[in-house]
DNA sequence: TAAAAAATAGGACAAATGACCTAATATTTG
DNA sequence: CAAATATTAGGTCATTTGTCCTATTTTTTA
């Protein structure tokens, strides 16, 4: 079989296991078993655990980048793009209830491990943060764009964590509705600049 | 030395290490070294790793319970109690920036591990959730009390996660301000029931 | 088709770890 | 004080894991 095909299958399996079980809790043998290859073959493609982690992070970055840029290329307006981002929580609700957020949980683990991969995990946050900031700027929130981006990012993280802790509730759906309502209020803000002062 | 004193020191050390490094990444040897005792002595007090985890979770539950009930016993009004809860993010900002939320990060890890201790970790969430719900009920939000409790819990989680990823920002302080403003709006809601409809 | 290269399989090994045991020391008790 | 009990120290052991190596099989190349 072509090396690149096996390599790709390893990355896909490792990506899933790192998400479901965590990075440190996933062994070479675990990944090899899922792919259906020997540990020796695994080592032929990736010389260390850090190397497979890097490959997974690159894959995720590319995947998320394509998703975000895809919405823009489809010509969707900025507000709709942000709404799409919020909607990810619903699209992936099953996995989120079972394993939390792929970005947040992996970052947290690598951070506690003191692992160099913490940087790549932060890059994933950066990707979403910068993209959201640009969308808010297009919505006219030039001054607060980054603050709004961080806000929606934080709420997504919190919702994912609690949905993981309480999977049997309709909590996730309700919070998404609130976030979309919040987005409406934000997008109205530049149309109705006269806000009620505190 | 009295056994209870050594036992207590072990729990304190394990609590700290489970927070800073994670449960799975902390070994018996790590805890014993911090306490300054031998691994054999450690095993005299706790027969397994699950046992020390249980002790740590009990300790945390007791500690948080006392904190929350303490505010009530001081006679603080419901809204001030919730504000105190939000303020924890500032009180512990240094540790949160370095290690995230002790409750959320440990729950996430135990969940991915498939460890039975996931239940006790969820109990910690339950403690805050139920307490917050009661405070919101006292504030007159009888119908939405649980939803509001979950909301503030989720936002705390998200803020802690992102403050961990971006420790150098003033993001944490800004989000706390927003949460307190949100609390004001909620507490005003029953005084001014006529809200502007969308 | 024969030689060379690529890919795979499976075993070896040192380090780390949870668990367990026994001997030594400190403390309490009668 | 002496016996009994509680506490501590340190070693052993089986298992897991990341890493590495060599032999075998498959694919490509000339």
| pLDDT for residue B192 | 56
Q: What is the pLDDT of residues A150-160, one digit of tens each?
A: 999 999 999 99
Tokens representing residue A10 in the block: 């390893």
| Element containing residue A136 per DSSP (H, E) | helix A118-138
The DSSP annotation for A47-84 comes to SSHHHHHHHHHHHHHHHHHHHHHHHHHTT--HHHHHHH
Q: The domain spanning residue A31 has which CATH number?
A: 1.10.10.60
**Is B108 in contact with A161 (Cβ distance < 8 A)?**
yes
How many CB atoms lie under 10 A from the CB of residue A182?
15
Residue A192 — very low, low, confident or very high, per pLDDT cuts 50/70/90? low
Residue B145 lies in a domain: yes
Mean pLDDT per segment of 10 residues, for chain B of length 198 residues? 86 98 97 96 96 98 98 98 98 98 98 97 98 98 97 98 94 98 89 50
Instruction: Assess whether pLDDT exceeds 90 at residue A195.
Output: no
Residue A98 lies in a domain: yes
Instruction: Assess whether pLDDT exceeds 70 at residue A190.
Output: no
Residues A25, A95 within the same domain: no
Q: The domain spanning residue A151 has which CATH number?
A: 1.10.357.10
Residues B124, B173 within the same domain: yes
Nearest to B165 among A24, A107, A171 (CB): A107
The reply to whether B91 Cβ lies less than 7 angstroms from strand D is no
Residue B194 lies in a domain: no
Give distance CA A108 / C1' D10 (Å): 36
Residues A29, A125 within the same domain: no
The DSSP annotation for B106-132 comes to HHHHHHHHT-TTHHHHHHHHHHHHHHH
Spatial contact of B159 and B89, defined as CB atoms under 8 Å apart: yes
> Given CB atoms, is A125 within the 8 Å cutoff of chain B?
yes
Give distance CA B40 / C1' D3 (Å): 25
* Cα–Cα dist B87/B81, whole Å: 10
Q: What is the pLDDT of residues A83-124, one digit of tens each?
A: 999 999 999 999 999 999 999 999 999 999 999 999 999 999
Residue A191 lies in a domain: no
Residues B76, B42 within the same domain: no
Residue A192 lies in a domain: no
**Distances from the Cα of A154 to the Cαs of A101, A119, A149, A194, B163, in angstroms?**
12, 18, 9, 27, 9
pTM over 0.85: yes
Question: What is the span of the domain harbouring residue B26?
Answer: 1-47
Instruction: Assess whether pLDDT exceeds 90 at residue A191.
Output: no
Residue A38 lies in a domain: yes
Total domains in the fold of chain B: 2
| pLDDT for residue A111 | 98
Residues A77, A148 within the same domain: yes
Residue A4 lies in a domain: yes
| pLDDT for residue B198 | 42
């Amino acid at each position: 079989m072509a090396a690149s095909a096996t390599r790709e299958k390893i990355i896909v399996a490792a990506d899933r296991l790192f998400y479901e079980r965590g990075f440190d809790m996933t062994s070479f043998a675990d990944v090899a078993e899922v792919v259906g290859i020997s540990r020796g073959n695994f080592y032929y493609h990736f010389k260390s655990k850090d190397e497979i982690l890097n490959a997974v992070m690159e894959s995720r970055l590319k995947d998320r980048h394509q998703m975000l840029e895809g919405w823009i290329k489809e010509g969707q307006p900025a507000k709709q793009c942000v709404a799409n981002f919020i909607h990810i929580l619903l699209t992936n609700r099953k996995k989120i209830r079972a394993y939390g957020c792929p970005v947040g949980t992996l970052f947290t683990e690598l951070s506690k491990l003191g692992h160099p991969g913490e940087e790549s995990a932060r890059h994933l946050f950066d990707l979403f943060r910068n993209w959201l900031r640009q969308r808010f700027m297009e919505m006219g929130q030039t001054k607060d764009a980054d603050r709004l981006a961080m806000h929606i990012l934080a709420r997504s993280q919190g919702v994912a964590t609690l949905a993981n802790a309480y999977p049997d509730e309709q909590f996730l759906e309700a919070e998404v509705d609130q976030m979309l309502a919040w987005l409406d209020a934000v997008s109205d803000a530049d149309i109705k600049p006269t806000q009620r002062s505190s």
